[in-house]
Structure 1
Amino acid sequence: MYAHEARLRAGSAAVDITPDHPVVMSGYGARDGRSTGVHDRLFATALILDDGAVTVCIASVDALNVSREFTHRVTAALSSRGVELDAIILAGTHTHAGPYLPARAIDVSPPLRADEDVSRTVEGIESDLVGAIERAFERRESAGIRLGHATEEGVQENRRAAGGVGGNVRMPQGPIDPDVTAVVVETASGDETILYNFACHPVCTTPGETVLSADWPGYARRRIEADRDGATVLFLNGAAGDINPSGLEPARSGSAVYEAMERVGSRVGDAVLRAVADATADDAPVLERTPIRCANRAVEFPVKRTPSLERIESRLDELEAQLEHLEERGDGVGYEKVNWDRRYAEELAAIAKWDVDALPNAIPYVEIGDLGVLGMPGEVHARHGLEFKERSRADTLVLAGYANDYVGYVPTLSALENGGYEVRTMKIAPEAIVEFRRAAFDLVSGDTRW
């Protein structure tokens, strides 16, 4: 046997993707104009792993989302440069203070879509990301992988259990996933990459803040880098569709926004460092000669059915009349409630006009010994993630939300009965949830029972 056979190799790279000009921001529907500055830098980070036969890329960008088209353009550009991948899991960190990247399920939403040309921004981020992946590919050398875990229970809340966005969830309920996973990759020359996984919305920022920021993951990155000098840090958000940072003041602004980011990011960063200590303990196993397996499952996400456009527009007229009446009475509480109803009706009208009846996807999965990484193309609720982990054949399952595409919210079937923001703004039909779960269980456990 040749010495280089059956040996894992790895390489990583990070690149600053912060736009050098004002850009349309993504994450909230209430922002006017473009970004007005930069609070902290945005990054794209890539990790390449190969076993001599299979090559995979795991990458993330400090943005709300990516799209199917974005991912395809990145892989096509890499192929043209001689970087052939057997699998890619490319995820947005889901910061709500980053540049707008188009995706069908966002563009259809009247409050969220950008009507400006954002091609300059998108092309710049794609180019920087492709360059980072190419550098990671060129830096491959013999490596070992260690896995560690910690728990952080003090910075998350299930926002549906807390009443929901807009305070309109019936029978509020929902779990959190406090697991913090660290995948520590060390090369023969001593380069260290720390891929960490945690489920929590980066929404410490607010619609009123117009400076670019990675939100709390930016603070976590800096906390980890300060302790692990020279390490490349890659964050994959998990099944965070209904998970927010806890303790956020609704009326926060200015310095309070960034104090919240620092509080959450520092605590998550400390938890990651505990997980790294677990991974690098003397008795921790090292994956060095384990083959890489990768697979994907094609899933059609049917778009949800709506009432007729005529009926929706009639309802919008009724809501407009109610809003006028409530405004005249000075009823702020009633106005806010009806205004949410108007927003949902506008979403339904847009879907009724949509020329899309399904969002096709390929769910990616990578497995290396005790490690599994599942890509999920949207805002997957925490209960899904907990069940995937429970049934995973890999001891450590990393759940990469917002990966390779964005289909919007993927709530549980039981959540549909309780309404709320995530249910009312979801773009997919209930049967899409069933198909997604069937594909995910098949990939992580070989069992299609959902």
Structure 2
Amino acid sequence: MSLRAGAAKREITTGEPNVVINDPLFAKALVLDDGGTRVVIIAMDVLAIGGLGDVKDDFMPKLRSRIEDELNIPGSNVLVNASHTHPQGRLLCDDAEQVERTLAAVREAMRNMTEVTAGSGYGYEDRLTFNRNLKMKDNSHWTVRYAFPCPQDSEVSGVGPIDPEIGVIRIDRLDGTTLAVVYNFACHLLVGVPERGVTANFPGFASKVIEENLGNGAMALFLQGAGGDILELFFKDVHRPRNCEPMGTMLGLSALKAVRAIKTKDARLNVLSEKIRLQRKTDIPDRIQTRLRDQAELLASLRSTSLNFKTFLPLYLKYALNPEYPSDYSYRYLQEQQIGSKELVTMDAHNRGNIDQYVRNIETMEKLIRIQEDVDTLRYHLALNEEAGEPTAEAEVQGIKIGGCAIITAPAELLVEIGLGLKKASPHEHTLVSAFSNGYLHYAAPVYHYDKGGYEVTECMLGPEWQQTYEEKAHEILRKLKGE
């Protein structure tokens, strides 16, 4: 039997009054059937699949149970990915409607099944993102966040890697028109739109570009990649409106370039899904105490200054504008030198000392802000782990093979190096790493990050043992999908 597929979507945006909606959010469903195996891929414009935001923890089991009971598709063959678009308040319709509307999209996709061919490939886009874990000269990490300032430029030694690949699966009807495009990219969706309303963020705009250019009812499904530490390049920019549409247009056009280069053919399906247990962190109390000690040391380093901001700023600008003659024209200094006076020079030395001390206090304040945010975050995740009442957390690792392409999932915010490693080691021609899928366990960072102080490790509930456990299972599933 030839491969068959159907696609459909349902809007899942909140209907609450007084909520600004810039562009609607969708649950998009692609159903594939090769005669022996049925697969459902669902792409949702949501923050996370349970554990965070508007989607509750019981969404996945309820949706899979309904699909299994009503549509005769095994729940383990259903992949649900969160784009990780960030909220400005409530994003989604109520809990029961989320399940009903998503299920309705799957039902419609099944009703519209038609014979198709499939192919895969990679696009490339390196102009949109950067690794937010800045490498510091003391070998630590400083994470670029909205919640605290960036470090002093003189303390930064480099930036980490990004993943510029756009993984693409193209599904064509037999007449050659495109039914669906699944595309995968590692990013973090934070910039939003000028009105700061509800938005699918730049993948929403990218999907619109893809769909409008392909026409014939083609549907684009975005799968979030290993983007835990990958941020929009202009995230901290204060000189332009926060508007992700230009980024979405660029991503969409780059994905389209890849789509048009892909040749499709008949394809077979395979699915494997296994549960593993990931170790929870046990050292969070120690990490809290370490940060509190850092805080105490910084507080002790603060020293008195005669300036406040009102007097500091004009002085700082004046001395930066003309360091040689800051207080007056050059002739005043030259005249003083000629008559043996040092009044201006003495005043400048006094002012520079006050300026330097005020700047050191500002830099200390910026570090203290970061520490306070870290402590609050650590306490939050300590509470989560204590509430769980068990040393491990269940995680699903799912692999889906479509022709020469494999999708491997993780229920966490994988950092980019994990995704790059999975793709490099994969035996498949093309591999899509679909993080943020089938659940949510917060951040999942490489082991060597754990002592570098980055935000993702601070905001992580998993112990460093998670990496080996997860990667061994992911590599095993990728090999089994290949038949090795």
1:359 corresponds in structure 2 to: 393
**Helix, strand or coil at the partner of 2:71:** coil
1:76 corresponds in structure 2 to: 65
**Helix, strand or coil at the partner of 1:444:** helix
Pick the structure with more helix per residue: 2
1:16 corresponds in structure 2 to: 11
Aligned partners of 1:97 and 1:215 also within 8 Å:
no
1:238 corresponds in structure 2 to: 225
Aligned partners of 2:171 and 2:179 also within 8 Å:
yes
Question: 2:275 aligned with 1:291, yes or no?
Answer: no
Question: 2:235 aligned with 1:256, yes or no?
Answer: no
Residues 324 and 9 (structure 1 numbering): CA distance in 2 closer, same or farther, change over 3 Å?
A: farther
Question: 2:252 aligned with 1:269, yes or no?
Answer: yes
Aligned partners of 2:288 and 2:378 also within 8 Å:
yes
- One-letter identity of the residue aligned with 1:235: F
Output the CA distance in 1 between the equivalents of 2:189 and 2:77. Answer: 27
Output the CA distance in 1 between the equivalents of 2:171 and 2:88. Answer: 28
Aligned partners of 2:223 and 2:434 also within 8 Å:
yes
Question: 2:154 aligned with 1:159, yes or no?
Answer: no
Structure 2 unmatched ranges of 5 or more: 51-56, 136-141, 309-360
Q: Which moved more, 1:10-19 or 1:81-90?
A: 81-90
Q: Deviations over 1:137-175 (max 9, x none)?
A: 222221111223221111121111475224469865421
Residues 59-208 of structure 1 aligned to structure 2 (within 5 Å): 59-67=42-50, 69-85=58-74, 86-97=76-87, 121-161=94-134, 163-166=142-145, 167=150, 173-188=159-174, 190=177, 192-205=179-192
Task: Please state how far the C-alpha of 1:13 moved relative to its aligned partner.
Answer: 0.6
Q: Deviations over 1:73-92 (max 9, x none)?
A: 11112233234235111010
1:212 corresponds in structure 2 to: 198
Task: Please state how far the C-alpha of 1:233 moved relative to its aligned partner.
Answer: 1.0
Q: Deviations over 1:244-279 (max 9, x none)?
A: 121334436xx7112xx0121111001011011111
Q: Deviations over 1:321-367 (max 9, x none)?
A: 988998x9875543342233223222333343422232201211011
- One-letter identity of the residue aligned with 1:435: T
Q: Which moved more, 1:75-84 or 1:212-221?
A: 75-84
Aligned partners of 1:369 and 1:394 also within 8 Å:
no
Aligned partners of 2:381 and 2:459 also within 8 Å:
no
> Between Structure 1 and Structure 2, whose CA radius of gyration is higher?
2
Task: Please state how far the C-alpha of 1:36 moved relative to its aligned partner.
Answer: 3.3
Q: Which moved more, 1:218-227 or 1:81-90?
A: 81-90
Structure 1 unmatched ranges of 5 or more: 1-5, 23-34, 102-117
The percent identity for this pair of structures is 24
Residues 370-381 of structure 1 aligned to structure 2 (within 5 Å): 370-381=404-415
1:26 corresponds in structure 2 to: none
Output the CA distance in 2 between the equivalents of 1:404 and 1:181. Answer: 19
Output the CA distance in 2 between the equivalents of 1:21 and 1:321. Answer: 48
Output the CA distance in 1 between the equivalents of 2:399 and 2:430. Answer: 13
Output the CA distance in 1 between the equivalents of 2:195 and 2:392. Answer: 34
2:30 corresponds in structure 1 to: 47
Residues 301 and 272 (structure 1 numbering): CA distance in 2 closer, same or farther, change over 3 Å?
A: same
Question: 2:214 aligned with 1:228, yes or no?
Answer: yes
Task: Please state how far the C-alpha of 1:417 moved relative to its aligned partner.
Answer: 3.3
Aligned partners of 1:170 and 1:419 also within 8 Å:
no
Q: Deviations over 1:282-322 (max 9, x none)?
A: xx2x331x33111123221221013559x958976996998
Q: What TM-score comes out, normalization by structure 1 length? A: 0.80
Aligned residues: 401
Output the CA distance in 2 between the equivalents of 1:96 and 1:305. Answer: 29
Output the CA distance in 2 between the equivalents of 1:244 and 1:232. Answer: 26
Question: 2:376 aligned with 1:346, yes or no?
Answer: yes
Of 392, 398, 413, the residue aligned with 2:432 is 398
Q: RMSD in angstroms over aligned alpha carbons?
A: 3.2
Output the CA distance in 2 between the equivalents of 1:122 and 1:293. Answer: 31
Residues 27-46 of structure 1 aligned to structure 2 (within 5 Å): 36-46=19-29
Q: What TM-score comes out, normalization by structure 2 length? A: 0.75
Output the CA distance in 1 between the equivalents of 2:159 and 2:8. Answer: 40
Aligned partners of 2:382 and 2:461 also within 8 Å:
no
Residues 149 and 139 (structure 1 numbering): CA distance in 2 closer, same or farther, change over 3 Å?
A: same
Task: Please state how far the C-alpha of 1:48 moved relative to its aligned partner.
Answer: 0.6
Aligned partners of 2:274 and 2:397 also within 8 Å:
yes
1:430 corresponds in structure 2 to: 464
1:111 corresponds in structure 2 to: none
Output the CA distance in 2 between the equivalents of 1:84 and 1:234. Answer: 20
**Helix, strand or coil at the partner of 2:242:** helix
Output the CA distance in 2 between the equivalents of 1:314 and 1:394. Answer: 44
Output the CA distance in 2 between the equivalents of 1:371 and 1:126. Answer: 29
